[in-house]
């Protein structure tokens, strides 16, 4: 009985330590990117779209539809996807661009003003990860198209993983906060 009590106490202590460790992990060290409310809403909408597209790509691969998987990647995640507008617009322009500058910059076909406006607020490092993600998506499309002939799932999944690695890299570093 005494021994059991000690074991229970020891387990309770361990679980408290685990909770304390969790609290530390929860400390948010990501860089806050301050953006207007509508820009944040648009950005997060595109983000939820990206998760949907990754899911759709997995579904297509599971149906052996390598070409469909490649098409989704190119249309929504690649360098010519409208969703890539914010990342393109930052390229070579740096931050703190004024409204006229943003309007004058060539748009990615199909993107809207609010998507492009994100360019004004995205730090250089975030822009770089974004571009790396769009480029990885185009590489995935190329690999997936080639895999259609060979049913080479391993190479398609490896290339898809290189896309999601960039999602993770950006999420680990940045968060978007509404401007006061």
Q: Compare residues 103 and 171 and give the one whose CB is closer to ligand HEC.
A: 171
For residue 29, give every residue at least 6 positions away whose Cβ sits within 8 Å of its Cβ, in sequence order, or none.
none
Residue 123 CB, nearest distance to ligand HEC (Å)? 10
The closest of 112, 78, 105 to 89, measured between CA atoms, is 105
Alpha carbons within 13 angstroms on the beta-carbon side of residue 74 total 12
- Classify 131 as helix, strand or coil: helix
Classify burial at 39, counting beta carbons within 10 Å of its beta carbon; exposed 0-12, middle 13-18, buried 19 or more: buried
Q: Compare residues 16 and 110 and give the one whose CB is closer to ligand HEC.
A: 110
Q: Compare residues 14 and 178 and give the one whose CB is closer to ligand HEC.
A: 178
Residues that bind ligand HEC in the complex, under the rule CB under 6 A: 44, 47-48, 50-51, 54, 77, 126, 129-130, 133, 163, 166-167, 170-171, 174-176
For residue 60, give every residue at least 6 positions away whose Cβ sits within 8 Å of its Cβ, in sequence order, or none.
66, 68, 69, 72
CA–CA distance, 39 with 116 (Å, rounded to integer): 9
Is residue 114 within 8 Å of residue 141, measured between CB atoms? no
Residue 9 CB, nearest distance to ligand HEC (Å)? 38
Residue 87 CB, nearest distance to ligand HEC (Å)? 7
Q: Compare residues 146 and 167 and give the one whose CB is closer to ligand HEC.
A: 167
Q: Compare residues 2 and 28 and give the one whose CB is closer to ligand HEC.
A: 28
Residue 33 CB, nearest distance to ligand HEC (Å)? 6
Residue 11 CB, nearest distance to ligand HEC (Å)? 34
């Amino acid at each position: 009985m005494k021994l059991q009590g000690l074991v229970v106490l020891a387990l309770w202590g361990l679980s408290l330590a685990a909770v304390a460790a969790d609290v530390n992990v929860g400390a948010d060290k990501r860089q806050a990117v301050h953006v207007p409310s509508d820009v944040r809403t648009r950005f997060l909408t595109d983000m939820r779209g990206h998760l949907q597209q990754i899911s759709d790509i997995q579904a297509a691969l599971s149906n052996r539809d390598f070409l469909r998987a490649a098409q989704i990647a190119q249309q929504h995640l690649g360098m010519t996807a409208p969703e890539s507008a914010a990342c393109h617009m930052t390229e070579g322009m740096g931050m703190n661009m004024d409204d006229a500058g943003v309007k004058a910059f060539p748009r990615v076909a199909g993107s809207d003003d609010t998507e492009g406006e994100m360019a004004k607020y995205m730090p250089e490092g975030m822009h770089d990860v974004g571009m790396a993600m769009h480029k990885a998506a185009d590489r995935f499309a190329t690999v997936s198209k080639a895999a259609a002939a060979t049913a080479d799932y391993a190479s398609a999944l490896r290339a898809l993983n290189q896309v999601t690695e960039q999602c993770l890299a950006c999420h680990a570093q940045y968060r978007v906060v509404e401007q006061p």
